[in-house]
Amino acid sequence: MSRLTEMGKAAKEASFVLAGLKAPEKNKALIASAEALEKNMDKVLAANKTDVDTAVENGIKGAFIDRLTLNEKRIKEMADGLRDVARLDDPIGEVLWMKTLDNGLKIGQKRVPMGVIGIIFEARPNVTADAFGLCLKAGSAVMLRGGKEAFNSNRTIVEIFREALENIGLPKDCVQVVEDTSRETATEMMRLNGYIDVLIPRGGAGLIQSVVQNSTVPVIETGTGNCHTYVDESADLDMAVNIVINAKTQRPGVCNACESLLVHEKVADKFIPMVTKALKERKVEIRGDESFEKAGAVPASEEDWGTEYNDLIISARVVKDIDEAIEHIRKYSTGHSECIVTENYTNAQRFLDEVDAAAVYVNASTRFTDGGQFGFGAEIGISTQKLHARGPMGLKEITTTKYIIYGNGQIRQ
């Protein structure tokens, strides 16, 4: 039995215990973990320093180092995150419906834990605490496989949680870190059917595609968002500028940021100068069609329409009408978040009905696609697939259901 299979087995065993816990017991574990994390802050900072030093020695720099680096504030935030999760409603045990069949069988559908959740992520140590907290509250054990650059940080954080769990009499295998960060072990984890019930990749497009391509364990695909904002003929143009600027620049590096702007030809003459000015003030590069080129944009290539920049760049073009806008979105959308700005009732409804995405907006920034903003209290990622969960995933999205049937001797005729 490989080390990973042993871990899977241990996680499954722990998951049976976890599934039987009541909400206060899980909350106690979360709070104890938060306290332990704060108490052992020095240990975490030391482990993180090793990771950061190694990364710097290896010539890594910029945003990667920023995401990898922990400080007191960030560790405190991780601990507070666990306390926040403790305050959320327990998703487990809810009976979604129950009815009595003609033969007297009472049948209900009940929300139960997933079992064992695998998370494969990159070099952000805060994912370790987030994922542990959400999975534990949802009654599932978690196996974490982070990027090798954050290995010491992840292992130290997880060791602190495991000790905290053990101290209150819970199985420490509720959370485990995969110690071998080789690609082979990642692939083995993607094929641990029978132990891991669902695998959630968190990270860049490359990581997510690798998991989708290689996993035989069911996957929830998260991530990429080539999000559009369409400014309709009847739009309030000041509102449209506000929404585009917010959706593009409030946090350009994330998946719900606007990447592409479509403008109805009847308002193009008026709107293009307005939006160009506002975007330029915020140092956004515009890659546009001829109409935008006339206003100073760089010419857009075919590739631009399909690109998620995650940067201060936006593609922009004029469309003939809402039909052409919907057609363009169907062709290039990744199905994340799409917005129409309009005062036209029929067009608003059409856009909501006809655009196939996790979140469709009328007159609001796509930046709202987020578990916290939607009021879920937490988020383990944003699903861009249609199976199981679509859009921001909170606690309920990492549970499953079972049918419970009460009989008194019924047999099938």
Q: Least separation, in Å, of the C-beta of 370 and its own copies?
A: 8
Contact call for residue 391 and its own copies (CB under 8 A): yes
Contact call for residue 253 and its own copies (CB under 8 A): no
Nearer residue to its own copies within complex by CB, 37 or 241: 241
Residues 98 and 401: their CA atoms lie apart, in Å, by: 13
Nearer residue to its own copies within complex by CB, 111 or 287: 111
Sole window of 82-90, 262-270, 296-304, 360-368 interacting with its own copies (rule: CB under 8 A)? 360-368
Q: Quick one: which of 143, 253, 255 has its CA closest to 200?
A: 143
Contact call for residue 98 and its own copies (CB under 8 A): no
Contact call for residue 358 and its own copies (CB under 8 A): yes
Contact call for residue 227 and its own copies (CB under 8 A): no
The secondary structure of 221-283 as a DSSP string is: -B----EEEEE-TT--HHHHHHHHHHHHHSSTTSTTSEEEEEEEHHHHHHHHHHHHHHHHHTT
Contact call for residue 365 and its own copies (CB under 8 A): yes
Tokens 């100068």 identify what position?
Answer: 273
Q: Least separation, in Å, of the C-beta of 114 and its own copies?
A: 6
Of 104-133, binders to its own copies (CB under 8 A) are: 105, 107, 112, 114-115
Q: How buried is residue 12: exposed, middle or buried, by Cβ count under 10 Å (0-12/13-18/19+)?
A: middle
Contact call for residue 220 and its own copies (CB under 8 A): yes
Nearer residue to its own copies within complex by CB, 283 or 403: 403
Q: In one letter, which amino acid is 361?
A: Y
Nearer residue to its own copies within complex by CB, 172 or 350: 350
Contact call for residue 20 and its own copies (CB under 8 A): yes
Contact call for residue 400 and its own copies (CB under 8 A): yes
Contact call for residue 411 and its own copies (CB under 8 A): yes
Contact call for residue 353 and its own copies (CB under 8 A): yes
Residues sharing a CB contact under 8 Å with residue 388, sequence separation 6 or more, in sequence order: 198, 218, 220, 397
Residues sharing a CB contact under 8 Å with residue 363, sequence separation 6 or more, in sequence order: 236, 239, 243, 339, 340, 341, 342, 348
Among 5, 167, 182, 410, binds its own copies (CB under 8 A): 410
Nearer residue to its own copies within complex by CB, 29 or 200: 200
Of 199-218, binders to its own copies (CB under 8 A) are: 212-213, 216, 218
Binding mask 278-317 for its own copies (x = CB under 8 A): ----------------------------------------
Specify the long-range contacts of residues 64-72, CB closer than 8 Å, at least 24 apart: 64/123, 64/149, 67/122, 67/123, 67/124, 68/123, 68/124, 68/125, 68/149, 68/150, 68/153, 70/44, 70/45, 70/125, 70/126, 70/153, 71/45, 72/41, 72/45
Residues 51 and 30: their CA atoms lie apart, in Å, by: 26
Residues 184 and 201: their CA atoms lie apart, in Å, by: 16
Contact call for residue 147 and its own copies (CB under 8 A): no
Contact call for residue 138 and its own copies (CB under 8 A): no
Contact call for residue 25 and its own copies (CB under 8 A): no
Sole window of 14-22, 38-46, 64-72, 152-160 interacting with its own copies (rule: CB under 8 A)? 14-22
Residues 293 and 300: their CA atoms lie apart, in Å, by: 9
Of 157-196, binders to its own copies (CB under 8 A) are: 193
Q: Least separation, in Å, of the C-beta of 217 and its own copies?
A: 9
Contact call for residue 16 and its own copies (CB under 8 A): yes
Pairing between β-strand 95-100 and β-strand 106-113 as defined by DSSP bridges: antiparallel
Among 48, 189, 367, 380, binds its own copies (CB under 8 A): 367
Contact 224, 381 (CB under 8 A): no
Residues 208 and 86: their CA atoms lie apart, in Å, by: 29
Nearer residue to its own copies within complex by CB, 115 or 171: 115
Residues 344 and 234: their CA atoms lie apart, in Å, by: 6
* Residues engaged in binding its own copies (CB under 8 A): 16, 19-20, 99, 101, 105, 107, 112, 114-115, 193, 197-198, 212-213, 216, 218-221, 236, 239, 242-243, 245-247, 250, 330, 348, 352-354, 356-365, 367-369, 373-375, 385-388, 390-391, 400-412
